[in-house]
C-alpha cells in the first residue's frame, strides 16, 4: 500500500512516520504539507533525526493525494483537517485523522471547545470514533481519540458499559508529559518553567472533555458530565490518568477484577494488572495501556489507574492500530511490542 502523511514534522507525525516506515504492508510513504502553494521541502531539513531519508514534503493537492496513496493520515493540529478533508469524506477515501477535528458529533461543541464556529459536520455514518478496543466496524474516515480520552475511556469502559457507575461521581485526574502540548513553543513548555514543576492547566476547559462525555454517554445514557483535570509534568512523554468513581451497587475487589479481565483478557494492547497500580515507565515507547484498580471498602470509592505513552497509544500507535483494523491487517503490525527500557 501507498500511504500519505500530512504533518510529519510534529511529534505525533514523527512517531507515525517511524512506525509506518517499518510496516510490512506499507510500500511507500508520501509526505505533504498543509498548503497548496508552499515549496517542496526536504524531510531531513525539517526533522534532522531522519538523517538518512531522501524524502520530500510536497504541497497538499487533494486530487494528487488520491491518485498517489491508498490511505491518508492527518497528524496536524486541530483546525487543519477540517479545512482539507471534506473532499476525502465525500469520496469515501480512507483517512485516519489524529487531530480533534471530527471527534465530536455536535457543531456547537466545536465552537465551544475548539473555537471552530459554523462547522458543518458530515453525516455521522461517514466518521468513526476510533477507540480501537471498542470499534467493531469502520467508516472510511477515522477520528483518532485524544490521548487523555484514550486513557480515561479504557479505564472506565467496563463499568460504564455494564451500567455500574454512579453517573454523578466520575472524577478524572490526569497528568501528561510536555510532548502532549505539541511542538509549538509556549512559555509553559520551556525548561525553566516546567523543570522541577507541575502545572494544572485548562481546568474544566480541556478539549478532550466533550469526547469523553460523548462516548461515556453512548455507553451509559445516565452519564452527562465528568470532573476532569489535567496536569503538565516535567517529563518528555507518558500519561497517567487516575479515575475516582463510586458504583451503583456494592461489589468486591474480586468482582471488579473479573469484570475487567472479561473485557481485556483478549486485548493485545490493554493489560489489566488487577491491584498493581502501573507507572508511566511500564508503557513508555509502546502501544500498551496498562490499567490497575483498587476498591476502598470504607469509602466505596474505586480508584482506577491508567497509563499510556501519549505519543503512541495516545496518538500515532492507536492510529496505526486503527489502520490495521480498517484494512484487515493483523492488529499489532508495525507497532512496538515492548516498552522502552530503561
Show pLDDT as tens, one digit a residue, over the chain (342 residues): 999 999 999 999 999 999 999 999 999 999 999 876 678 999 999 999 998 788 999 999 999 999 999 999 999 999 999 999 999 999 999 999 999 999 999 999 999 999 999 899 999 999 999 999 999 999 999 999 999 999 999 999 999 999 999 999 999 999 999 999 888 889 999 999 999 999 999 999 999 999 999 999 999 999 999 999 999 999 999 999 999 999 999 999 999 999 999 999 999 999 999 999 999 999 999 999 999 999 999 999 999 999 999 999 999 999 999 999 999 999 999 999 899 988
Other CB atoms within a 10 A radius of the CB of residue 206 amount to 18
- CATH code at 15? 3.40.50.720
Q: Are residues 216 and 302 in the same domain?
A: yes
Q: Do 154 and 120 share a structural domain?
A: no
141 shares its domain with 48 = yes
Same structural domain for residues 38 and 101? yes
Helices (H), the chain: 11-20, 43-46, 62-68, 81-84, 86-91, 107-114, 147-162, 191-194, 209-219, 253-264, 317-327
Domain ranges, residue 122: 2-145+313-327
Greatest pairwise CA separation for the chain in angstroms: 64
Does residue 258 sit in the same domain as residue 193?
A: yes
Question: Do 189 and 44 have their domain in common?
Answer: no
List 71, 91, 147, 289, catalytic entry: 147
Identify whether 342 is part of a domain: no
Residue 334 lies in a domain: no
161 and 83 share one domain = no
Nearest to 96, CA basis, from 23, 198, 153: 23
Please check whether residues 258 and 126 belong to one and the same domain.
no
Question: Do residues 246 and 123 both lie within one domain?
Answer: no
Structural domain contains residue 340: no
Same domain, 164 and 256: yes
Domain count within the chain: 2
Rounded CA-CA distance 23/2 in Å is 11
Kindly state whether residues 322 and 247 are assigned to the same domain.
no
Q: For this structure, is 91 an active site residue?
A: no
Domain presence at residue 335:
no
Amino acid at each position: 500500500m501507498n500511504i500519505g502523511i500530512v504533518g510529519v514534522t510534529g511529534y505525533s507525525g514523527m512517531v507515525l512516520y517511524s512506525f509506518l516506515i517499518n510496516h510490512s504492508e506499507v510500500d511507500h510513504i508520501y509526505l505533504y504539507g498543509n498548503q497548496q502553494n508552499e515549496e517542496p521541502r526536504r524531510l531531513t531539513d525539517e526533522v534532522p533525526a531522519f538523517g538518512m531519508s531522501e524524502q520530500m514534503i510536497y504541497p497538499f493537492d487533494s486530487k494528487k493525494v488520491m491518485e498517489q496513496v491508498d490511505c491518508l493520515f492527518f497528524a496536524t493540529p486541530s483546525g487543519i483537517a477540517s479545512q482539507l478533508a471534506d473532499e476525502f469524506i465525500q469520496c469515501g477515501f480512507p483517512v485516519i485523522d489524529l487531530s480533534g477535528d471530527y471527534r465530536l458529533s455536535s457543531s456547537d461543541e466545536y465552537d465551544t471547545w475548539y473555537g471552530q464556529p459554523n462547522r458543518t459536520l458530515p453525516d455521522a455514518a461517514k466518521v468513526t470514533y476510533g477507540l480501537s478496543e471498542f470499534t467493531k466496524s469502520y467508516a472510511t474516515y477515522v477520528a483518532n481519540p485524544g490521548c487523555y480520552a484514550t486513557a480515561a475511556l479504557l479505564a472506565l469502559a467496563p463499568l460504564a458499559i455494564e451500567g455500574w457507575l454512579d453517573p454523578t461521581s466520575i472524577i478524572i485526574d490526569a497528568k501528561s508529559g510536555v510532548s502532549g502540548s505539541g511542538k509549538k513553543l509556549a512559555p509553559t513548555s520551556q525548561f525553566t518553567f516546567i523543570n522541577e514543576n507541575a502545572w494544572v492547566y485548562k481546568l474544566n476547559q480541556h478539549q478532550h472533555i466533550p469526547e469523553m462525555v460523548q462516548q461515556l454517554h453512548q455507553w451509559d445514557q445516565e452519564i452527562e458530565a465528568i470532573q476532569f483535570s489535567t496536569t503538565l509534568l516535567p517529563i518528555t512523554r507518558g500519561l497517567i490518568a487516575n479515575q475516582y468513581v463510586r458504583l451503583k451497587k456494592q461489589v468486591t475487589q474480586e468482582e471488579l477484577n473479573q469484570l475487567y479481565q472479561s473485557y481485556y483478557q483478549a486485548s493485545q494492547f490493554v493489560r489489566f494488572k488487577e491491584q498493581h497500580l502501573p507507572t508511566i515507565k511500564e508503557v513508555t515507547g509502546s502501544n500498551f495501556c496498562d490499567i490497575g484498580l483498587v476498591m476502598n471498602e470504607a469509602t466505596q470509592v474505586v480508584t482506577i489507574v491508567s497509563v499510556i505513552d501519549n505519543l503512541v497509544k495516545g496518538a500515532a500507535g492507536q492510529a496505526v492500530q486503527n489502520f490495521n483494523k480498517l484494512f484487515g491487517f493483523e492488529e499489532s503490525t508495525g507497532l512496538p511490542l515492548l516498552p522502552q527500557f530503561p
